[in-house]
Amino acid sequence: MTTRQATHAGSWYTGDGPTLSRELDEWLAAVPAQTTPIGASSAAAGPVSLPASGARAIIAPHAGYSYSGPAAAWAYKAIDWSVAGGTRLTGSERVFLLGPSHHYYLTGAALSRCAEYETPMGNLRLDAETIAELKGTGVFETMSVAKDDAEHSLEMHLPYIFKMLSQHHSSPADFPPLTPILIGSTSPVTERRLGGLLAQYLANPRNVFVVSSDFCHWGSRFQYTYYQPGEAKTGYALSSKHDPRQRGDPAIHESIAKVDAESMDAIETGSHAEFLDQLARTGNTVCGRHPIGVIMAAIEAGGLQGEGNVGKFKFVRYERSSLVHHIRDSSVSYCSAFAVLPA
């Protein structure tokens, strides 16, 4: 039985299980029981309770925990874990984890060949049955253990998943199994195809979906210096010749926040096409744009949108690693969102 090792423990987050558990508890405890969503459309609907009843899909960041751990807690606190926890429903509950590929070129999606994923707090069992079903479609690749080990976009969510499931189960042996899916540089057509395949699992009220994504990666080291001044809907790539501080224009970090807000608003519409259009217009470097596209396509394919913003994400947290003032600076944005899906 092959176990994927917690290769980023001890560097991206602590490798000591008890310490890690306490950190997660502290970040989760800091999330309020009620908040007002930050997206333009969802904020208008008023405050929401956390956890949100029926919330079983989230978007959460995957950077080192010193950067994104507290922000991710908002998404994990939002999930109605009683769905996967067995306190409300019984049966073959599953947890799906979709993350972007950072280390090898992939135009579709890949599955794990491992039987378990290690965390410093305990191991998570993979869903061999579901993985075999997906593999049988002929659409998915199987990644090597080395590629699995190298990828952080999946691993950074494992401790949070373990923590939340442990609150509803007495033993890891009783946890619902995990299906990790690595999503590559997919075309819109491929995202819709993958979404169509996952729609049946997303429609199952016993299943939870976690989507791994950071948002804007801004700076020359990311090859993205897009700047959108004032109320304009179009922008340009900043250079040392275009310094907003010398022109009286908004600060760079204000432009970054504006572009991220447009991406969040596009996701909140529930329209896969509208999200793709916003990315095409701004080039926003949302590193999990393809996993987000897949789950949006799955929601559409499954007809899971309904009244009261059912089937549409609501963003509840937005943070950045730093505030950019100069072309030499850089930052990464971290967002957390949840979606209530039909029961």
Residue 282's contacts (CB-CB under 8 Å, 6 or more residues apart) are: 226, 228, 235, 259, 262, 263
The whole-number pLDDT of residue 88 equals: 42
Does the pTM surpass 0.75? The reply is: yes
The whole-number pLDDT of residue 91 equals: 40
The predicted-structure confidence for 269-313, as pLDDT tens digits, reads as follows 999 999 999 999 999 999 999 999 999 999 999 999 998 889 999
The predicted-structure confidence for 79-130, as pLDDT tens digits, reads as follows 988 765 544 444 448 999 999 999 888 999 999 999 999 999 999 999 999 9
Averaged pLDDT for residues 37-61: 90
pLDDT band at 242 (very low <50, low <70, confident <90, very high): confident
- Name the nearest CA neighbour of 338 among 21, 124, 35, 13: 35
Using a pLDDT cut of 90, give the percent of the chain over it.
Answer: 82
The whole-number pLDDT of residue 230 equals: 74
Alpha-carbon gap, residue 307 to 166, rounded angstroms: 32
Name the fold adopted by 3-340: Protocatechuate 4,5-dioxygenase; Chain B (3.40.830)
The whole-number pLDDT of residue 90 equals: 40
Coil, strand or helix at 176? coil
- Lowest mean per-residue pLDDT among 11-20, 23-32, 44-53, 283-292: 44-53
